[in-house]
Amino acid sequence: MAPQSSSLLSFNHYHISTASLLHPSLNHVRARGPLPQQRHSWLVVRTRSKTSCGAITKAVKADVGKEDVVIVGAGIAGLATAVSLQRLGVRSLVVEQADSLRTTGTSLTLFKNGWRVLDAIGVGSDLRSQFLEIQGMVVKTDDGRELRSFRFKDEDASQEVRAVERRILLEKLASQLPSEAIRFSSGLSKIENGENGEQFLELADGTRLLAKIVIGCDGIRSPVAKWMGFSEPKYVGHCAFRGLGFFPDGQPFEARVNYVYGRGVRAGYVPVSSTKVYWFICFNSSSPGPKVTDPSALKKQAKELVKNWPPELLNLIDRTPDETISKTPLLDRWLWPATSPSPSRGKVVLVGDAWHPMTPNLGQGGCCALEDAVVLARSLADALKSDSASIANALQAYESTRWPRVFPLTIRANLVGALLQWDNPLVCSVRNNIVIPKLVRLGPILEHTNFDCEPLPQTNF
């Protein structure tokens, strides 16, 4: 008869729950190849069987990988953090739940703050060469009337705007790392405090790791943030369709962002490269609704929202390959000082959406994830070579630098979205006839894209 329960697990000097260690796949651990700095430990398992009621002690040999830094999630935040740390001489292991880098999806617009970081970590010029520089933006009504246009460099000569394919950005970042630095199909399934200030991690494939530092870059639904006590992000009342229109013979648009504002619905499109054009449609909805993944259903719903709008949007939707269309409910989490946990707990720290999910209305979620990455890496790199107190100070410095940056941006992005999603006809008329044509100034609106970032040195291991 199987043992009913186990009473104590001693794991080196750890005392951790039975459920976390009685994983069916102890033998699994070596299946994906040896881990760096692997350490052999003995799990001493005392079990109480139904039949004997006596304590039986048995020893199970397990392999536990030991890492200085484990980064959870190979998205923008995780990869940029790993690259930044590497440039400062710190190796890390990135564990990603998916079986490869995310290859689906569309693009994201990076402003000059994003480019400063990409330059600082040595990938800016190569990416720059693949994507069009966007010169400005034009705002229209849903019947095609132009309300206003701006040129970015007229407002700020140092502004740089490009829509970057997410797949290419991720691949470029990953290419800076040694291949063994990213482990796919390795979702984090358990995180616990260990003794000696280390973190115990268990991955979906049964791998166990001890890490000096864990960096949670696991996105908007971050399990690491949940473990640290953060609330779920909140739905803000609108959803976005996104896609990447493909024009094999060359796309026809000028290099500018086109916004079209309707009532409770707004859309936009921007050329990414000579053949690709990113588009989105944002619409009010009292609930996120069911998850739809069928591309033809998504296209049908998206087209329905803009069926009487300027025809280029409908054409873009028709030219969108299935794997690039998606619908996403928009979420954020406001990091109120009194109630929100710190982004670090012990030796665990959050970066990017895992810490500060924000709505995409300012195009700053990815840019801020990049900023976080270099700021954290700079803070941590020296501290990791010193003692525990230095690490605690480095994490505190990261929080005090980044919180005043990301909290106001999260609120601002939310408010901008709420204003742009108005559906009241009178309010929309004031927006279209007074606010946008006469009152809006782009320079102050884009001040948040100022971010200084010195290049990180290139360290050879």
Residues forming the site for ligand FAD (CB under 6 A): 72-78, 95-98, 102, 108-110, 187-188, 217-220, 223, 240, 242, 328, 352-354, 360, 363-367, 369
- Nearer residue to ligand FAD within complex by CB, 65 or 75: 75
Considering the complex, what minimum distance in angstroms separates the CB of residue 42 from ligand FAD? Answer: 27
Considering the complex, what minimum distance in angstroms separates the CB of residue 446 from ligand FAD? Answer: 13
- Nearer residue to ligand FAD within complex by CB, 35 or 108: 108
Considering the complex, what minimum distance in angstroms separates the CB of residue 364 from ligand FAD? Answer: 5
CA distances (Å), origin 49, targets 4, 11, 18, 54: 6, 21, 15, 7
Q: Which two tokens stand for residue 369?
A: 């994830």
- Nearer residue to ligand FAD within complex by CB, 75 or 432: 75
- Nearer residue to ligand FAD within complex by CB, 16 or 367: 367
Considering the complex, what minimum distance in angstroms separates the CB of residue 241 from ligand FAD? Answer: 9
Of the candidates 19, 109, 10, the residue with the CA atom closest to the CA atom of residue 60: 10
Considering the complex, what minimum distance in angstroms separates the CB of residue 278 from ligand FAD? Answer: 8
The residue whose Cβ lies closest to ligand FAD is 75
- Nearer residue to ligand FAD within complex by CB, 362 or 381: 362
Burial (CB count within 10 angstroms: exposed 0-12, middle 13-18, buried 19+), residue 422: middle
The one-letter code for the residue type at 137 is M
Considering the complex, what minimum distance in angstroms separates the CB of residue 38 from ligand FAD? Answer: 20
- Nearer residue to ligand FAD within complex by CB, 188 or 383: 188
- Nearer residue to ligand FAD within complex by CB, 47 or 414: 414
Q: Which two tokens stand for residue 328?
A: 């996403």
Considering the complex, what minimum distance in angstroms separates the CB of residue 329 from ligand FAD? Answer: 9
Considering the complex, what minimum distance in angstroms separates the CB of residue 163 from ligand FAD? Answer: 7
Give the 3-state secondary structure of the chain. Answer: CCCCEEEEEEECCEECCHHHHCCCCHHHHHCCCCCCCEEEEEEEEEEECCCCCCEEEEEEEEEEEEEEEEEECCCHHHHHHHHHHHHCCCCCEEECCCCCCCCCCCEEEECHHHHHHHHHCCCHHHHHCCCCCCCEEEEEECCCCEEEEEEHHHHCCCCCCEEEEHHHHHHHHHHCCCHHHEECCCCEEEEEECHHHCEEEEECCCCEEEEEEEEECCCCCCHHHHHCCCCCCEEEEEEEEEEEEECCCCCCCCCEEEEEECCCEEEEEEECCCCEEEEEEEEECCCCCCCCCCHHHHHHHHHHHCCCCCHHHHHHHHCCCHHHCEEEEEEECCCCCCCCCCCEECCEEECHHHCCCCCHHHCCHHHHHHHHHHHHHHHHHHHHCCCHHHHHHHHHHHHHHHHHHHHHHHHHHHHHHHHHCCCCHHHHHHHHHHHHHHHCCHHHHCHHHCCCCCCCCCCCC
Considering the complex, what minimum distance in angstroms separates the CB of residue 80 from ligand FAD? Answer: 8
- Nearer residue to ligand FAD within complex by CB, 77 or 83: 77
- Nearer residue to ligand FAD within complex by CB, 186 or 432: 186
Considering the complex, what minimum distance in angstroms separates the CB of residue 221 from ligand FAD? Answer: 7
- Nearer residue to ligand FAD within complex by CB, 47 or 361: 361
Evaluated on CA atoms 219, 224, 229, 232, the torsion sign reads: positive
- Nearer residue to ligand FAD within complex by CB, 180 or 195: 180
Question: What is the spatial distance between Cα 261 and Cα 243, in angstroms, rounded to a whole number?
Answer: 18
Question: What is the spatial distance between Cα 427 and Cα 423, in angstroms, rounded to a whole number?
Answer: 8
Considering the complex, what minimum distance in angstroms separates the CB of residue 16 from ligand FAD? Answer: 18
